[in-house]
Amino acid sequence: MTFDSPENTETRTPQEFVDAAATAGPEGTPPEADSPSAEVIGVRHGMFGVTGSGDTSGYGRLVRPVTLPGSTPAPYGGYFDEVVTELHAALGAVGASWETVIEKVIVFRGELTLHVRREHLVTVAKVLRDYAALRFELCLGVNGVHYPDDTGRELHAVYHLMSITHNRRLRVEVSAPDADPHIPSLFSVYPTTDWHERETYDFFGILFDGHPSLTRITMPDDWRGHPQRKDYPLGGIPVEYKGARIPPPDERRAYK
């Protein structure tokens, strides 16, 4: 953990903060920020990242960078190298350029992730499913992620694929800007994504183009907003308990 005075941190850029923290020793910065390829997208102040209210926890001066893992150079280790090599060849066979289709390859915490440009997502998914040396036949689900500080890439959709034939796993990640939250649906390639894409739309607002029925699946149809975005207000309903009334979180008092 790194502590610094507000007057020293407020004027730093995210990268300047990471550079300074890295010189403070191994305990000065989280492991992912130590990597020279780490992508710094912001700085978090305080223990919980809360702003606009008093801090009674004593952690108001805690400062940490908000980072995403950077590109991983080959070799990747294990079966990851074979997957990347075979996918490179398969994309060439269908007339798709690797540099045009794939943004970056990341090996992080034992997982292989392919960052795919959204306009090529369906092509990549078909190749991963149908090419004999790959055969990722099963999509285990779709997850949404919201990075408000990742300008132009605020919304991410993460597909978890599995090859039953080769007993392998792979993550495919696609990003879209908040101003244009459109990502092609993979329903035509993996029909199991039907409900998963609806849930991701419901909670994050990602519009999956080509989905047969992109409607809310958990929240009411007339619900406003997408509750799992990080900038979504807490909201809530008042709770009564033995005669006492507890207001919703966004109406409770703030310490000054």
* Per-residue pLDDT, 243: 73
**111-159 pLDDT, tens per residue?**
999 999 999 999 999 999 999 999 999 999 999 999 998 889 999 999 9
Q: Which of 208, 163, 206 is nearest to 186 (CA)?
A: 208
Annotate 89-106 with b (16+ C-beta within 10 A) or e (fewer): ebbeeeebeeeebbbebb
Which residues have CB under 8 Å from 4's CB, separation 6+? 61, 63
Helix (H, G, I), strand (E, B) or coil at 146: strand
Confidence of residue 20 (pLDDT cuts 50, 70, 90): low
Taking the mean position of all CA atoms in its chain, how far away is CA 69?
11
**210-252 pLDDT, tens per residue?**
999 999 999 998 888 999 998 887 766 667 777 777 777 667 6
Q: Which of 107, 102, 170 is nearest to 137 (CA)?
A: 170
Answer for the pair 236, 249: CB distance below 8 angstroms, yes or no. yes
Answer for the pair 92, 47: CB distance below 8 angstroms, yes or no. no
**44-65 pLDDT, tens per residue?**
777 665 565 555 555 666 788 8
Q: Tokens in use for 108?
A: 């992080």
pLDDT at 186 over 70: yes
Q: Is the entire prediction scored with pTM above 0.85?
A: no
